[in-house]
Amino acid sequence: MHEYSNIMLTEDEKFMKEAIKLAKKASAAGEVPIGCVIVKDGKIIGRGYNRRNTDRSTLSHAEMNAIKKASSYLHDWRLEECTMYVTLEPCQMCAGACIQARIPRVVIGCLSPKSGSCGTVASILGNEAFMHTCEIESGVLADECSAVLKEFFIRMRAEKKALDQAYK
Ligand SMILES: [Zn+2]
């Protein structure tokens, strides 16, 4: 009955929507769609999306790019009062970077069964043995986050099939 509007969204959902927008930007560039924003005092101070192929860099994950932007905005490597919103559960590298950046809270869209390092494959984020710990909230707009990934892989398979047939 009611249209799905921003007015009905919680604060976490509102920022996750922004991360989803970035994931779609990655998808449009032919990159696996993962998006990330970093928020401080209710304001987005860093945006990032997966650009691994574009940048030809292992380091160019959405979270790493957002951390770089947030740090240059704050002129500080410490992101102590920030919240990260990311569409897919961070990998071991990005979970490690969150700890190194001292990010106190990470909000995750959907879980990653193959590389999730915030409880799924490993518990790097959320491991209380580390000096800096981080609060994790997962499942925020999870269906929407995973739909963007699924659509991307369906499109890639279809494109590959079309290409294979063209050369038969
Ligand atoms: Zn990563």
Q: What separation in Å is there between the alpha carbon of 157 and the centre of ligand 1?
A: 23
| Joined tokens for residue 134 | 């981080």
Q: What separation in Å is there between the alpha carbon of 158 and the centre of ligand 1?
A: 26
Residues 68, 70, 76, 78, CA torsion sign? negative
Per residue in 28-46, pLDDT (tens digit) is: 999 999 999 999 999 999 9
pTM of the full predicted structure? Answer: 0.92
Q: What separation in Å is there between the alpha carbon of 88 and the centre of ligand 1?
A: 9
Q: What separation in Å is there between the alpha carbon of 133 and the centre of ligand 1?
A: 18
Tokens 């990998």 belong to residue: 91
Per residue in 37-79, pLDDT (tens digit) is: 999 999 999 999 999 999 999 999 999 999 999 999 999 999 9
135 is catalytic: no
Sheet containing 135-138: which strands, arranged edge to edge?
43-49, 35-40, 82-88, 105-110, 135-138
Contact 46, 66 (CB under 8 A): yes
H/E stretch holding 147 reads helix 142-166
Catalytic residue from among 11, 13, 63, 89: 63
Per-residue pLDDT, 8 = 85
